A = this chain, B = another copy of it.
Amino acid sequence: MNLSSGAILILSGPSGAGKSSLITKIIDHIGPSYFSISTTTRPMRAGEVNGTHYHFVSEEEFKYEIENEMFLEYAFVHGNYYGTSLVPVKKALKEGKLVIFDIDVQGHDAVKNRLGDITTSVFTTTPTLHELKRRLHNRSTDSEEVITRRIDMAKREVQRIGEYDYLVVNDNLDEASEILISIAKSARMKIPTLQINEFIQQWEANA
């Protein structure tokens, strides 16, 4: 019998912690999954693709979706809206998939409140603040002003690690992804994500 009824894995952490690389590794190793793409009003950056990195929409469209309760969670960060649309998440869960979110501390809080039973959450960060600064400067996609803002946000977010289920320090990508893949595999077997009553009935019936 197919026991699993879908589960949610949330990954949070500062820009520069390596979330995108980690998520690519998870998706390659975890079986049926759905990576939830956020909807945002922020301008597209060089190299980004609409529908791959984000669903880029106007502020007007975003506010329409808010009014119609079409978001699982949304937030206003650094002058832009970011949100998670509900419909594709529900569909993926119904198909027994592992739904993967890359969302911030605010988003984590909102999803945990609504779907905490089937949610497993991981905070990932560099080993030190120094290393985070080094990575942000090295990737040179952001202006100094943006980097400063990201570092300030990282300092605030790190204070809230205790709200998560797991911490994964991304010192070495291979080691960090190994532990994240373990957490993702486990997330599928959490009791609240399984059809336990059906399992017990069928277990006894086959006597």
Contact = CB atoms under 8 A, between A and B. Distances in A.
Q: Is the interface of A mostly helix, strand, loop or mixed?
A: helix
A168 B186 CA distance: 10
Interface in A168-199: 168-169, 178-179, 181-183, 185-186, 189-191, 194, 196, 199
A181 B181 CA distance: 11
Nearest to A204: B129
Contact of A169 (B3, B131, B166, B178): B3
A47 interface: no
Interface stretch (A32-40, A55-63, A92-100, A154-162): A154-162
Nearest to A184: B182
Given A133-B207, A203-B158, A185 B189 contact: no
B161 A200 contact: yes
A71 interface: no
Contacts of A167: 3, 189, 191, 194, 196, 199
Contacts of A206: 127-131
Nearest to A122: B189
Given A125-B203, A167-B191, 12 more contacts: A127-B203, A128-B207, A130-B207, A158-B204, A161-B196, A162-B191, A166-B191, A167-B194, A168-B189, A169-B199, A179-B185, A182-B186
Interface of A: 3, 125, 127-131, 133, 155, 158-159, 161-162, 164-169, 178-179, 181-183, 185-186, 189-191, 194, 196, 199-200, 202-204, 206-207
7 contacts: A128-B203, A130-B207, A131-B206, A133-B207, A158-B204, A161-B200, A183-B186
